[in-house]
Structures are given as C-alpha cells and as structure tokens.
Chain A
C-alpha cells in the first residue's frame, strides 16, 4: 500500500468513528458556540469592541476547540488495546500521522465554517475578501492539526495527557493564532496585500510541522 492509500485508510477510520459517535458535532461544536457567546458577554457588544476583535476571538475559539478535538482523536485509541492494533497494523508512521492529522483537520474545518458563520451573524462582521481568508484558514488548520497530532501522540498513554497537551500545544501554535488573526483582519479590512505575508507564514508553519510529524510519529507511537 502506498502512502496515500494508507493515509486515506487511517483518516477514514477516524472520521467513521466521528460519524458514528458524533462527539465533535454534539460536544465540541456547541462548546465553540458557547465560547463565542461568552465572549460577547465579556466584551459588551454595544461598545463596538466585539466587531474589531472578532478575528482574534474566532481563532482563540478554534484553538480551544482544537484542544478538545486532539484529545478526542487520541482517546478513541486509548481503550481496548486499539493503539496496539495501530502499532501492529503494519501501516507506516508517516501515513498514520497524515491520516490522523487529516481527520482532525477535516473536523476542524467543518467547525470553523459553522463558527465563522456564527461570528458573522452574532458579531456583525462582513467577510468580503474571501480568497486570502480561505487560504489563511486552510493553512492555519493544517498547522494546528499537525502540531496537535504530534503532541497528541507524544502524550498518548500518559496519565496527565489532558492537562499536558494544552500546555505543550498552545505556546507552539502561538504564531498560528497571530498569523491567522492578522490575515483575517487584513481580509476583513479589504487590504488583501497585508494578508499574504501571514498566509505565507502559516503555510511554512504547516509544511514544517507536517514534515516533523511524519518523521516523529512512528517513533513516538512506539513509546505511547
């Protein structure tokens, strides 16, 4: 089997589990929505702050939801020796990494679409310049999914993984939050030229950590 087919196999497995259990849909998505609602409580919508900081709030919410998605992606293999099954499956480390990261990325993208529409409706912003915005979102999502998968497998099997993964992941994805927020701001302000450097940065981040993840996933899974 080649890399592509193995990747699709692993991603398909995780997405099928999600389709049957609907944990992301019924737990992570409502969580993201309530966070967006709470931000409005914290920053009084009448003062106009909400509109100006909407991109930042959106991406903070996405990161929080990503923590839950990563935790979920590795808890489905925690029981019944499923991780041993994965180890013994004969699938290559890079394919396992790409598969798991792709499944997380697909779920995050779906979340982001709903959350973005909610931001548009609740916070009253307009998304005009869609092209840089979509590219920035794609690159940021791949970056978050790659680093999340990397830290997810690093902490898999540890008793403290629920508290450890956020501490490890959030500082590393700080540039993603920064880049994605600035790109969104530039797009919303109608200055796409300001967005491109950030899109490039997000792209470099995504490629770099996808590469590291493909190298490191196999050895880390052996220890999990």
Chain B
C-alpha cells in the first residue's frame, strides 16, 4: 500500500520542507540580482526546477506504464505509480508555464511567446491532461490500468515528435527574436548553486508528494473495493427471505443445512 516506509516518508517530508526554506532564502536574498533582468531572474530558481520535475514525472509515468504492460513485471504498483506521477507532472508543467509567463512579462515584454520550448510544454500539458481524464473514468481496475498504460505510452512517444516539429517550425521560418544573446551571460557562482539546489529541492518535494499521492490512490482503491463488498452484502441480506432459518430440529434426518450465500466483509 505504500511506496516508501512511513519513517522514510516522514524524513523525506522534513528534508523537502527545510530545502524549500533554504531555497527561498537563497533565491530571494542569497543570490545576487541579475545584471540584465534584475530581480525577475530569481523566478528561474523555481521555473527551471519545475520544468525538470515535469519531465522527470512524465518519464516515471512512461516507465511505470511500460512495466505494467510487460507481462513479467505486471503489478498494481506500476499503474498507481504512473498515475501518481502523471498528476504531479501536470501540476509541475502548469507551474512551469505559469512561472515562465510571469518571468516573460518583465523580461521579454510579453506573457507568451511562440518559442519552441513554450509550445512543446503547452502541448505536453494537454497530452497528460487527457491522460488524467482517462484515469478518472470509473471502470474495472485491470481495464483502466491497461487503457491508461497504453495511452501513457502513446503520449510519451509523441513528445519527441512534438519537440522536433515545433523546433523546425520556429527555426525554419524565423530566428528566435526574443532570446537576446546578452541573456546568456556568465552565471555567478551563487546563482549556479541556487539553481542546482532548486533542482535538488524540487526533486525531494516530488518524491515526497509522489509517495503521498501513491498512498492516496491505494487507499481510494481499497475504499472502493470495501464499499463494493458492503453493497453486495447489503443486497444479499435484502434478498434473503424474512422467514427464520430452520433449526436443525425441524429438519428431516439426513437433510443438509440450506445453502445461504456467505459474503465476508473485511473488518473496517
């Protein structure tokens, strides 16, 4: 039912929290303001890590789906892992787009530019939004797992194609105009550290949230199953004739007890 042991998860949670605080301190005060973009550049300390986590999360979803589809490694673990990771991937993709947009406004002067990476990320967002919609459709767990695993792989295969096509589109037609070469200035040591620390922090946050989401999915499935069994038990009880069951004394010698459907309900 759990991805990580409770103790490990707790330690991970605390580590992630501490790392987020340290990252905020470094990002907001520790690192010097950028020469060209001044304080707007500080958004990069969360924007770049979000983008990294989004790709990591979708990679994990694809891996989980592939492992579920492979007959030898088929297990519920992989389906749940794929689902939990895709949810986080969509959240972090949305965060990447939102943060990038906030950054783009002061630096590029626009909320949105038709840059290859932006367009690819937006398509990625919708690809996996569809996957999550598919996951939410109630069917039998086995059937859902199979559909979702295949859908995840179809989407994953599409990512490089989208990336290539959009890159071609934006380079064949016009050179990127918003990317000023000045922006690629040398990066300060503290800035580089903060950026890498951001990636580490977000990875910790991702792992912690992945464990939480995994447990929630498992608990949800468990609850559905128990509700189903309870409903069946209730139905069977309602169908049973109201007359009291005959005592052994009423029965003719040699006759066996009538078969009553037995439904076991797991202890709550």
Shortest Cβ distance from B144 into A: residue: A223
Asked if A220 meets B164 with Cβ closer than 8 Å, knowing A158-B139, A168-B151, the reply is: no
Q: Is the CB of B162 within 8 A of A174?
A: yes
Asked if A219 meets B127 with Cβ closer than 8 Å, knowing A178-B165, A182-B172, A201-B168, the reply is: no
Tell me which residues across on chain B come within 8 A of A201, comparing CB atoms: 161, 164-165, 168
Residue from B147, B155, B157, B165 with most neighbouring chain A CB atoms (10 Å): B165
Tell me which residues across on chain B come within 8 A of A175, comparing CB atoms: 158, 161-162, 164-166
A208 beta carbon closer than 8 Å to chain B: yes
The stretch of B33-41, B129-137, B197-205 in contact with A is: B129-137
Q: Is the CB of B139 within 8 A of A168?
A: no
Q: A204 vs B165: C-alpha distance in the bound complex, in angstroms? A: 12
B268 beta carbon closer than 8 Å to chain A: no
A154 beta carbon closer than 8 Å to chain B: yes
A164 beta carbon closer than 8 Å to chain B: yes
A90 beta carbon closer than 8 Å to chain B: no
Chain B interface category by residue count: 20 to 34
Q: Name the distance in Å between A17's Cβ and chain B's nearest Cβ.
A: 26
> What string of 1s and 0s marks CB contacts (under 8 Å) between A161-184 and chain B?
000100110111011001100100
Q: A118 vs B239: C-alpha distance in the bound complex, in angstroms? A: 65
Q: Name the distance in Å between A93's Cβ and chain B's nearest Cβ.
A: 12
Residue from A154, A155, A171 with most neighbouring chain B CB atoms (10 Å): A171
B143 beta carbon closer than 8 Å to chain A: yes
Q: How many residues of A contact B (CB 8 A)?
A: 31
Tell me which residues across on chain B come within 8 A of A197, comparing CB atoms: 168, 172
A194 beta carbon closer than 8 Å to chain B: yes
Shortest Cβ distance from A143 into B: residue: B161
B56 beta carbon closer than 8 Å to chain A: no
Tell me which residues across on chain A come within 8 A of B166, comparing CB atoms: 175, 178
Q: A197 vs B171: C-alpha distance in the bound complex, in angstroms? A: 13
Tell me which residues across on chain A come within 8 A of B165, comparing CB atoms: 174-175, 178-179, 201
Residue from A158, A197, A201, A223 with most neighbouring chain B CB atoms (10 Å): A223
Q: Is the CB of B172 within 8 A of A171?
A: no
Tell me which residues across on chain B come within 8 A of A150, comparing CB atoms: 154
Q: A170 vs B127: C-alpha distance in the bound complex, in angstroms? A: 8
Where the two chains meet, the residues of A that have a C-beta atom closer than 8 Å to any C-beta of B are 147, 150-151, 154-155, 158, 160, 164, 167-168, 170-172, 174-175, 178-179, 182, 194, 197-198, 201, 204-205, 208-209, 212, 216, 219-220, 223
Q: Which 9 A-B pairs have the closest CB atoms?
A: A175-B165, A171-B126, A168-B130, A171-B127, A223-B143, A167-B130, A175-B161, A178-B165, A172-B158
Name 21 interchain pairs, CB-CB below 8 A, sorted by A: A147-B154, A154-B147, A154-B151, A164-B134, A164-B137, A167-B126, A168-B130, A168-B134, A171-B123, A171-B126, A171-B130, A172-B154, A174-B123, A175-B158, A178-B166, A182-B168, A182-B172, A201-B161, A220-B150, A223-B139, A223-B147
